[in-house]
């Protein structure tokens, strides 16, 4: 298929996060689901330590400081569930949070670590990759990208890994409150165009602000639907 035919095709990529993707009922069900108790289950530093694959999981990946902890906290409406990025121990493990024994939110180690040694970086890259490859209950990965910056070269590696592992993933822009609405619209459109040919990428890019709550109800609905669970 040529670029031209792809660009002209009517695909869901033409949608933007501003359009209503979910019904009021779905958004309300997701709100109720995510108001249920969420707890830290465990951190795994090695692949052998992963918990049994007995609940649907979604995972969150992104560069350190992208707003991953803030997003997980905003989803569950708790300020301190996922810790901030500057706590070294926890950020080098795959951390599992359970939402009311229905699904798990999985925090993957951040990438783009400036301070970590090469050996350390390799270690948690491998752990992340092993998790992505071998997890039958993993329903989707959410790749977090700072709305101010859009996709950068450093983001190609996780996208390549997800495409190779054939793990469905969706891009979630973070810190949407930091840019103007027309800039946000432009970055959504640009990102959607950039991922068009990536086989495992969901065509719709979501925009969120953990600070202001923008896009959080929609992301909850997306996760609920993806995991096929109800409140
Ligand atoms: P992590 O390293 O990816 O877990 O990032 P954090 O969640 O610790 O966030 C990194 C920094 O970005 C912190 O100073 C947060 O307060 C800030 N931040 C995160 N999300 C948002 C957001 O939606 N809006 C704004 N304005 N700041 C945010």
Question: In this structure, is residue 1 part of a structural domain?
Answer: no
Question: In this structure, is residue 3 part of a structural domain?
Answer: no
The pLDDT value given to residue 115: 58
Tell me how far the alpha carbon of residue 137 lies from the centroid of ligand 1, in angstroms: 28
Q: Is 210 in the pocket of ligand 1 (CB under 6 A)?
A: yes
Q: Is 112 in the pocket of ligand 1 (CB under 6 A)?
A: no
Question: In this structure, is residue 98 part of a structural domain?
Answer: yes
Whether 123 shows a pLDDT value over 80: the answer reads no
Question: In this structure, is residue 16 part of a structural domain?
Answer: no
Query: What is the number of domains present in the chain?
Result: 1
Confidence band, pLDDT 50/70/90 cuts, at residue 1: very low
The pLDDT value given to residue 77: 96
What mean pLDDT, rounded, does the chain reach?
87
Q: What is the mean pLDDT of residues 110-126?
A: 68
The pLDDT value given to residue 114: 54
Looking from the CA of residue 84, the nearest atom of ligand 1 is: 8
Whether 117 shows a pLDDT value over 80: the answer reads no
CA distance 199 to 162: 9
- Which residues are within 8 A (CB) of 37 and not within 5 positions of it... i.e. 6 or more apart? 99, 100
| Predicted confidence (pLDDT) per residue in 12-32, tens digit | 433 444 457 899 999 999 999
**Helical spans, DSSP H, in the chain:** 3-8, 24-34, 68-76, 88-91, 118-133, 156-165, 181-194, 216-227
Q: What is the mean pLDDT of residues 159-166?
A: 92
Question: In this structure, is residue 88 part of a structural domain?
Answer: yes
Question: In this structure, is residue 57 part of a structural domain?
Answer: yes
Measured by CA distance, the residue closest to atom 12 of ligand 1 is 67
Whether 224 shows a pLDDT value over 50: the answer reads yes
Question: In this structure, is residue 45 part of a structural domain?
Answer: yes
Q: Which of 93-97, 112-116, 131-135, 196-200 shows the highest mean pLDDT?
A: 196-200
Burial class (CB in 10 A: 0-12, 13-18, 19+), 55: middle
CA distance 177 to 98: 28
Whether 85 shows a pLDDT value over 60: the answer reads no
Tell me how far the alpha carbon of residue 70 lies from the centroid of ligand 1, in angstroms: 6
pTM: 0.89
The parent domain of residue 86 ranges over 30-227
Question: In this structure, is residue 135 part of a structural domain?
Answer: yes
For position 89, which CATH number holds? 3.40.50.300
Question: Hey, what's the torsion of the CAs at 174, 177, 180, 186, to 10 degrees?
Answer: 20
CA distance 56 to 135: 10
């Amino acid at each position: 298929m040529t670029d031209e035919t792809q660009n002209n095709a009517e695909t869901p990529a033409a949608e933007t996060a501003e359009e209503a993707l979910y019904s009021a009922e779905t958004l309300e069900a997701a709100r109720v689901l995510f108001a249920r108790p969420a707890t830290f289950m465990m951190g795994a530093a090695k692949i052998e330590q992963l918990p049994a694959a007995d609940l649907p999981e979604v995972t969150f990946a992104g560069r350190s400081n992208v707003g991953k902890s803030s997003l997980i906290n905003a989803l569950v409406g708790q300020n301190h569930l996922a810790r901030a990025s500057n706590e070294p121990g926890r950020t080098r493990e795959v951390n599992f949070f359970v939402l009311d024994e229905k699904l798990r939110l999985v925090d993957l180690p951040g990438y783009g670590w400036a301070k970590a040694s090469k050996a350390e970086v390799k270690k948690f890259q491998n752990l992340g990759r092993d998790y992505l490859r071998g997890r039958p209950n993993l329903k989707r990965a959410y790749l977090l990208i700072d709305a101010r910056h859009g996709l950068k070269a450093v983001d190609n590696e996780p996208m390549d890994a997800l495409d190779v592992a054939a793990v469905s993933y969706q891009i979630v822009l973070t810190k949407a409150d930091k840019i103007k609405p027309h800039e946000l619209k432009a970055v959504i459109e640009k990102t959607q165009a950039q991922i068009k040919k990536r086989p495992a990428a969901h065509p719709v890019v979501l925009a969120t602000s953990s600070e202001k709550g923008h896009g959080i109800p929609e992301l909850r609905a997306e996760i609920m639907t993806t995991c096929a669970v109800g409140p």
